[in-house]
């Protein structure tokens, strides 16, 4: 919203007459029952003062007043769409909640590129932290930061860790990872110092594909083993806790040395089966 447009809205809001209870109810009924646009216009213009006053309370978050007014007007229209005049509540009382909610949602979406205030407790913390901090600081200027966070957490019913995290977010602006570390020409970006030992996404995908392919190849090669060889390989190599030579010797009624020989022979048979079916494996191993 451009500044001249906002100024005209402010002037129109200031000129709009207040509505008596009976007139307000009659207009609300005309809008609800007949969708009378003229009635809606009179209701909303009569309450734009409320939008302007609410926008002034949120100007400390550094967002354009014109945008706050526009979002508040959206909340005002939402209130008009949901208002039930037969309940006997004044429209201003009902609309205040919708105007505030619309502005708060806009602030949470645009104050930072990092999404915050996703729960009701975090939202309350975001909008009340500065006020509570200032009030406690006035009463006890030398209050340690940790104790300050503890008192705020008790007041709002959130953890002290959440208070500390939100306090740090509100005390510093967002910084782009592509911003230079210093003002010197050719200075490195902050991103350059975020070193990660994790593999790149394409490497991770390639490894997963290779693992799946090799699993299929191994399953096919196991068909070259007889029943006893397959059982020994499965127990010794294909389980998390491999069986001992002694335990397998007892099961099959043979010595542990014989079990070792069978295992070695089975491994050699698997290697030959894999190489015959997939010669590239031998080239890769070389």
Q: Let me know if 122 is exposed, middle or buried by CB neighbors in 10 A (0-12, 13-18, 19+).
A: middle
Percent of all residues in the chain with a pLDDT value above 90, rounded to a whole number: 35
- Return the residue matching tokens 């919708």: 98
Q: Looking at the predicted structure, is the pLDDT value of residue 6 above 70?
A: no
What confidence score (pLDDT) does residue 116 get? 56
Domains contained in the chain, number: 3
- pTM, whole model, 2 decimals? 0.51
Confidence of residue 286 (pLDDT cuts 50, 70, 90): very low
Asked if 9 contacts 69 with a C-beta cutoff of 8 angstroms, the reply is yes
Comparing 148 with 47, the larger pLDDT belongs to: 47
What confidence score (pLDDT) does residue 266 get? 92
Confidence of residue 73 (pLDDT cuts 50, 70, 90): very high
Least confident range from 104-108, 116-120, 132-136: namely 116-120
Asked if 206 contacts 246 with a C-beta cutoff of 8 angstroms, the reply is no
CATH number of the domain residue 225 falls in: 1.10.10.10
- Residue 75 domain boundaries: 3-110
Looking at the structure, do residues 243 and 276 belong to the same domain, yes or no?
Answer: yes
Looking at the structure, do residues 25 and 85 belong to the same domain, yes or no?
Answer: yes
Q: What is the mean pLDDT of residues 118-128?
A: 70
Looking at the structure, do residues 96 and 13 belong to the same domain, yes or no?
Answer: yes
Asked if 133 contacts 167 with a C-beta cutoff of 8 angstroms, the reply is yes
Residue 39 lies in a domain: yes
| Spatial distance between the Cα atoms of 113 and 102, rounded to a whole number of angstroms | 19
Looking at the structure, do residues 126 and 144 belong to the same domain, yes or no?
Answer: yes
What confidence score (pLDDT) does residue 114 get? 55
């Amino acid at each position: 919203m451009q500044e001249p447009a906002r100024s005209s809205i402010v002037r129109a809001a200031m000129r709009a007459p207040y509505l008596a209870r009976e007139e307000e109810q009659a207009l609300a009924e005309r809008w609800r029952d007949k969708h009378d646009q003229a009635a809606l216009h009179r209701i909303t213009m009569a309450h734009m003062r409320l939008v302007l006053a609410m926008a002034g309370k949120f100007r400390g978050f550094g967002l354009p007043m014109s945008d706050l007014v526009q979002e508040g007007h959206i909340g005002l229209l939402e209130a008009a769409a949901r208002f039930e005049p037969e309940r006997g509540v004044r429209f201003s009382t009902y609309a205040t909640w919708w105007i505030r909610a619309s502005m708060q949602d806009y602030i949470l979406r645009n104050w930072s590129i990092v999404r915050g205030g996703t729960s009701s407790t975090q939202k309350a913390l975001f909008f009340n932290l500065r006020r509570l901090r200032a009030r406690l600081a006035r009463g006890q200027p030398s209050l340690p930061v940790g104790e300050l966070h503890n008192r705020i957490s008790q007041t709002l019913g959130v953890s002290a860790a959440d208070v500390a995290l939100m306090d740090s977010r509100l005390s510093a602006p967002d910084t782009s990872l592509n911003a230079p570390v210093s003002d010197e020409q050719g200075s490195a970006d902050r991103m350059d110092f975020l070193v990660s030992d994790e593999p790149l996404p394409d490497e991770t995908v390639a490894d997963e594909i290779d693992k799946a392919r090799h699993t299929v190849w191994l399953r096919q090669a196991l068909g070259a083993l007889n029943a006893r060889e397959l059982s020994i390989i499965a127990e010794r190599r294909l389980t998390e806790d491999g069986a001992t030579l002694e335990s397998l010797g007892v099961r099959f009624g043979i010595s542990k040395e014989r079990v070792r020989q069978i295992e070695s022979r089975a491994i050699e048979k698997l290697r030959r089966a894999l190489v015959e079916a997939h010669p590239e494996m031998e080239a890769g191993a070389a």
